[in-house]
Amino acid sequence: MYKGAVFFDYDGTITDENDGIYSPTERTLYTFEHLRANGYATFLATGRMKPLTTLVSGKFTGLVTSNGAYTEIEGKCINNIYLDRELQKEAISYMESENIFYALETQTGAYTNGLDNKHFLDILNHFKLARSLYHPISQAPDLSANKMIITYEDEEKAVRMSRIFEGRLTIKPHRFCLSADLDAAGITKATGIEAVSKHLGIPKENIYAIGDGSNDVTMLRAAGHGIAMANHSKLLDGEAEFYTKSVREDGIYHAICEHYGLI
């Protein structure tokens, strides 16, 4: 049915908050539209929960959200993985004792202890994340979450937590921010790619993935063709088949159209 599939990270790839680019460029939108017209399935592959993708989600065949914990194709869910409830409770107890602020994310909204914390709200503002989607944790005491985000004013707190929960939870820091994604160990964007590949019958050699951050390492490895943006995390050094330009320089268009010639 499809010639192949192309997976796109969101922050730092489609947009770049550090460069003041909060919407896709014209050439990026051109790439999305013409890839689908040329027989490729296209997927947004992001750490964001689904409600935070509405600006661009309609441009794609499907979504991989919450770093691979949730996957859908043409609006139909094919994978929905939750954090272990006991592990979630243990992590929350630890974070509250360490003054780490967090949000439990689902595919309809998030619940947090950070609505009165300036640093947490500054992180939401930095990424232009709609505050209306974040609710007090007291409103959902028995919530099952797909993933968490955490914020901290001391980077060492994230390092210590990573050591304590090693093998059970994975902390993936956001570039340039004192915040991170908190995922169940073993659940990554590659989980979503593998689910899509199996569901649509697309072999690895026909899969392309493009990203910039620490949560994109496994995605690039799972694809037959891994692409890194110019302003990428050092963790992507040596992981990509091709290194493209920045968002401002239309790095997606440069890679997909000019280098690989998929359109």
Write phi, then psi, for 66 (nearest 5 degrees): 50, 40
Residues 213-237: tens digit of each pLDDT = 999 999 999 999 999 999 999 999 9
Q: What is the pLDDT of residues 48-81, one digit of tens each?
A: 999 999 999 999 999 999 999 999 999 999 999 9
Q: Residue 186's pLDDT band (boundaries 50, 70, 90)?
A: very high
Q: What is the CATH number of domain 85-184?
A: 3.30.1240.10
CATH superfamily of domain region 4-81+187-259: HAD superfamily/HAD-like (3.40.50.1000)
Write out pLDDT tens, residues 99-138: 999 999 999 999 999 999 999 999 999 989 999 999 999 9
> Tokens for 257?
């159209």
CB 5 within 8 A of CB 197: yes
- CATH 3.30.1240.10 in the chain: give the residue spans: 85-184
CATH 3.40.50.1000 in the chain: give the residue spans.
4-81+187-259
Does the predicted model carry a pTM greater than 0.85? yes
Q: What are the percentages of helix, strand and coil residues in the chain, rounded to 5?
A: 40, 25, 35
